[in-house]
Structure 1
Amino acid sequence: MSERGTALLEASGPARRAARPDPPRRGPAALALGLLRTARPRQWVKNTLVVAAPAAAGELASLETARQLGLVFVLFTAAASAVYLVNDARDADADRAHPVKRRRPVAAGTVPVPLAYAVGALLGLAATAAAAVLCNPMTAALLTGYLGMQLAYCVRLKHVLVVDLAVVTTGFLMRAMIGGVALGIPLSRWFLITTGFGALFMVAAKRYSEAVQLASHKGATRALLTEYTTGYLRFVWQLAAGVAVLGYCLWALESGGTANGSLLPWRQLSVIAFILAVLRYAVFADRGTAGAPEDVVLRDRPIAVIGLAWAAMYGMAVADL
């Protein structure tokens, strides 16, 4: 071998060793942290949707309401975490081909696959058992239905065209329903339409972004992205956004003008903030950068400001100010 070849080989050896990933840590602390990360604490913010129905009905004033909603939030978080653990255990091989998901603890080897299955099963059983004991029958049934549907999604439904979008959307809708169900609050048809199609808008926008960003190796990361076209996913999120806006407008206008001496028709005026929020979110969807909904909502300051303005107007409508 020439001197130049020997030098290149010697130089490449340390580079290869430096590029090689460190072996996963398996100590108790690393396992506990890995399990916590697999439970997706950042996504627990989605479970705050349990207050949506009571807030829309103006039923957040009492301590008993707060206690019940807190309990429902914890139970739904446990059920969702169980699903995340099972999902990551099943998808470990596919996640290793994803530029971001390969860092998940199960895919990286920090959390063994059997342990992820075991902890997921325990969390799921604990959540359903606690719901049966501590909540009314409809709440327990809804939580159990959510868990069963999401596990079916992990096993099979994520591979069925269109059904995968419907299942993820229904998961968001169940979050929004369960608070009203727990408190015995009737759910408005417009509330269900707006929430359901708003969720479909965000789910389809996320799929569209994945299809745009991972076009070169999408089959290895999410199998159904080879079946969807970007044109179809764009059509879905645009249709869903339109129906969500229409549903919200009908919901807001259903109450008529000002009520009980209110200075302004706050409920109707909140339509402006709602449409602005949809338009702002659509910017990210159109660019193909609408990833996880909680990331878009929490990181974009204009959406946060619009959301606060909407909450203020809707709050004043509920309080008849």
Structure 2
Amino acid sequence: MQPPNPISKPVIHRQTPYLLFKQLRPKQWTKNLLIFAAPLFSFEIVNAATLLDTIAGFFLLCFVSGCVYIINDYMDREADRNHPVKRHRPMASGQLNPNLALAFGAVLLIGSLAVSSLLSPLFTVLLGLYFMMNVAYSFRLKHVVIIDIMIIAAGFVLRAIAGGLVIHVPFTPWFLLCTMLLSLFLAIGKRRHELVLLHEDKGSHRKVLEHYSLELLDQFSGIVTTATIISYSLFTFTSGRTVHLMWTIPLVIYGMFRYLYLIHIEKKGGAPDRILFEDKHILITVLIYVVSVIGILAYFE
């Protein structure tokens, strides 16, 4: 008599709440920290209320993005069982009932949208747009060359806009352009890392990689790196804030150069959110940047 297959018989047990939380991929939530860019660059008007609203917006954004992950894992659970890493995900491993996860995601999405309307109706619209765009990316757009990296960049732009909507402050076009270009920079690095893994036969399985080459991605990266540095420099002078923001330009340049070093020399870049905490140089640069912006806006405006 053969032992029962744990994958084929999902059960509900006391670890279910933990598994549902794990299914939301909290390790990916660092991407949503961009929502705090609004209070950072509007430091002089930030108070306890706006900070709490931003924190609430951060978690709502995390919950909505988690709902996308639930749909992804629900659709890919059979294929994930054959993957050396993804087979340990809650649904693929059989620990979490797929139908329960889907129902949980539906309730969480509706609840998140309802609560977001208390912060700003436009924020609710943005969350809905963010959800639909990411679902479209998961089902189709991630397989369309160039569009795939532009959708990733658009997701970061929506995060930045969300921060402004929550605390009701506008963003300059230059800042949104910088956000888009920096996001493209990270997305291109991620695709390059995946392409290197594919060439090294390490199991990368993205079909869209067949349409890329290292030379093309390096050219994209060079263009976007230059455009980002120029755009950020112009932002510091034309944003209507103090020109002393220009002192943060070297930090941006160093951060981007350090990331390029990690991509080309250390062969990293597959998980930008993880690099933020794993590479102490980038982490320290980000912390110095945040402190510098707060200090400059506090004392020179």
TM-score, shorter chain, exceeding 0.5: yes
Identify the match of residue 24 of structure 2 among 4, 26, 39.
Answer: 39
Structure 1, 44-53 or 294-303: larger mean CA deviation: 44-53
Q: Report Cα offsets for 1:225-272 as digits up to 9, x if no partner.
A: 22222322232233222221111111113369x95xxxxx64111101
| 1:91 counterpart = 2:59 | no
| 1:165 counterpart = 2:149 | yes
Structure 2 match to 1:253: 237
Matches of 2:103 and 2:239, distance apart in 1: 50
Offset, 1:164: 1.6
Structure 2 match to 1:72: 57
| 1:140 counterpart = 2:119 | no
What is the Cα-based RMSD across aligned positions, in Å?
Answer: 2.6
Instruction: State the one-letter code of the partner of 2:279.
Output: D
* Higher RCO, 1 vs 2 (CA within 8 Å, ≥6 residues apart): 2
Identify the match of residue 115 of structure 1 among 94, 100, 118.
Answer: 100
Matches of 2:278 and 2:270, distance apart in 1: 11
Structure 2 match to 1:276: 254
Look up the SS of the partner of 2:170 in the other structure.
coil
Offset, 1:136: 2.0
Instruction: State the one-letter code of the partner of 2:122.
Output: M
Q: Report Cα offsets for 1:263-308 as digits up to 9, x if no partner.
A: xx64111101111011111112224311211110111111111112
Offset, 1:106: 2.1
| 1:201 counterpart = 2:195 | no
Q: TM-score, normalised to structure 1's length?
A: 0.83
Size of the aligned set, in residue pairs, is 295
Q: TM-score, normalised to structure 2's length?
A: 0.89
Residues 240 and 92 of structure 1: is their aligned pair in 2 closer, same or farther, counting only changes over 3 Å? farther
Instruction: State the one-letter code of the partner of 1:286.
Output: H
Offset, 1:93: 3.2
Residues 97 and 168 of structure 1: is their aligned pair in 2 closer, same or farther, counting only changes over 3 Å? farther
Structure 2 match to 1:3: none
Look up the SS of the partner of 1:214 in the other structure.
helix
Q: Unpaired segments of 5 or more residues in structure 2? A: none
- Tell whether the 8 Å contact from 1:50 to 1:69 is kept in structure 2 after alignment: yes
Offset, 1:60: 5.6
| 1:297 counterpart = 2:276 | yes
Indicate the structure (1 or 2) with the bigger Cα radius of gyration. 1
Matches of 1:160 and 1:46, distance apart in 2: 23
- Tell whether the 8 Å contact from 2:198 to 2:204 is kept in structure 1 after alignment: no
Q: Unpaired segments of 5 or more residues in structure 1? A: 1-21, 260-264
Residues 209 and 96 of structure 1: is their aligned pair in 2 closer, same or farther, counting only changes over 3 Å? farther
Offset, 1:73: 1.1
Instruction: State the one-letter code of the partner of 1:105.
Output: P
User: Sequence identity, in percent?
Assistant: 31
Offset, 1:123: 1.7
